[in-house]
């Protein structure tokens, strides 16, 4: 194991900001943030469709605000092939709906309310994520 | 007002994803590469988020109702079943393959990157498959 590119301060700061988003949504609207739930309910359910839509719009304008205020470019690096990304997208969409949550819904909101179900989900997808990367790197 | 809060929460969440670099698949794949060149940074995203959300959840839920709605509305599902495990395995595999989970994938639409747009479309197809599956098997 080598430790590389370690950025604990920016990660912690970003995490705290994410925590505040969860807090505000819960305090004012009474809902816990889970992105896969919000996104899939937006296409699959009538109920609270406008709220879900506005939240998703916010997710997309967030980075744009960041660029304008901080005047910084956002770099992302995707090294995967197109086919692999399509398969990954299907797995993420299908898997999060079957299990009822993703990194935010289970990993943050679920663990915050001491849900054993969410803790088990989080440990499972993290372990499988690690194994997947391990296998991919050796192929 | 609750509509404004929905938008605002999304914006704040999206900014958090950018600052923490969750939005960068390379960073996520580095975090999952424990046995290679490991970048443990993203563990701090979870620590930071939970430091705020965990105590605040338990304080706020004692209130009679949220400020802009009539009642609290969150899942209290306690089922630990095959669906939970199978779904988490499939999600973990997809996360490890692409380095994107739903929040960062949607936020990265802002960058108009062809790959992240394709990922989001296929993720939504995945959501829709589960709806079809559930309506045919009537599991719910």
Tell if the CB–CB gap between A63 and B96 is shorter than 8 Å.
Answer: no
The number of beta carbons lying within 10 Å of the beta carbon of residue A85 is 24
Q: CB distance from A68 to chain B under 8 Å?
A: no
Phi, psi of A30 (to 5 degrees): 75, 15
- pLDDT band per the 50, 70, 90 thresholds, residue A70: confident
Chain B residues in contact with A137 by the CB 8 A cut-off are 33, 36
pLDDT tens digits along B15-62:
999 999 999 999 999 999 999 999 999 999 999 999 999 999 999 999
- By the 8 A CB rule, do A96 and B106 touch? no
Chain A residues in contact with B36 by the CB 8 A cut-off are 1-2, 133-134, 137
Tell if the CB–CB gap between B44 and A8 is shorter than 8 Å.
Answer: yes
Number of structural domains found in chain B:
1
Secondary structure of A8-67 as H, E, C letters? HHHHHHHHHHHHHHHHHHHHHHCECCCHHHHHHHHHHCCCCHHHHHHHHHHHHHHHHHHH
ipTM: 0.96
How is chain A split into domains, by residue range? 8-138
Find the domain containing B37 and state its range: 2-137
Burial class (CB in 10 A: 0-12, 13-18, 19+), B139: exposed
Residue A78: is its pLDDT beyond 90?
Answer: no
Chain B residues in contact with A58 by the CB 8 A cut-off are 6-14
- By the 8 A CB rule, do B44 and B67 touch? no
Chain B residues in contact with A128 by the CB 8 A cut-off are 88-89, 91-93, 95-96
Residue B140: is its pLDDT beyond 50?
Answer: no
Tell if the CB–CB gap between B96 and A131 is shorter than 8 Å.
Answer: yes
- By the 8 A CB rule, do B23 and A20 touch? no
Q: CB distance from A52 to chain B under 8 Å?
A: yes
């Amino acid at each position: 194991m080598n430790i590389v590119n370690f950025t604990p301060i920016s990660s912690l700061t970003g995490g705290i900001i994410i925590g505040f988003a969860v807090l505000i949504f819960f305090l004012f609207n009474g809902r816990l943030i889970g992105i896969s739930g919000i996104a899939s309910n937006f296409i699959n359910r009538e109920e609270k469709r406008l709220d879900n839509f506005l939240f998703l719009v916010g997710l997309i304008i967030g980075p744009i605000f960041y660029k304008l205020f901080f005047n910084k470019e956002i770099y992302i690096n995707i090294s995967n092939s197109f086919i692999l990304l399509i398969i990954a997208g299907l797995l993420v969409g299908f898997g999060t709906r079957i299990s009822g949550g993703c990194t935010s819904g289970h990993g943050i909101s679920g663990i915050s309310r001491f849900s054993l179900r969410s803790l088990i989900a989080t440990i499972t997808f993290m372990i499988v994520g690690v194994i997947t990367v391990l296998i991919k790197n050796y192929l | 007002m609750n509509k404004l809060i929905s938008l605002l929460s999304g914006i704040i969440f999206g900014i958090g994803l950018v600052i923490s670099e969750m939005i960068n698949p390379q960073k996520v794949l580095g975090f999952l590469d424990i046995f290679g060149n490991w970048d443990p940074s993203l563990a701090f995203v979870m620590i930071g988020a939970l430091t705020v959300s965990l105590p605040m959840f338990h304080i706020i839920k004692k209130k009679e109702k949220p400020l802009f709605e009539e009642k609290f509305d969150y899942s209290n599902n306690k089922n630990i079943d095959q669906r939970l495990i199978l779904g988490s395995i499939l999600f973990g595999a997809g996360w490890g393959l692409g380095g994107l989970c739903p929040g960062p994938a949607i936020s990265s639409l802002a960058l108009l990157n062809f790959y992240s747009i394709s990922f989001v479309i296929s993720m939504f197809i995945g959501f829709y498959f589960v709806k079809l599956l559930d309506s045919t098997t009537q599991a719910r």
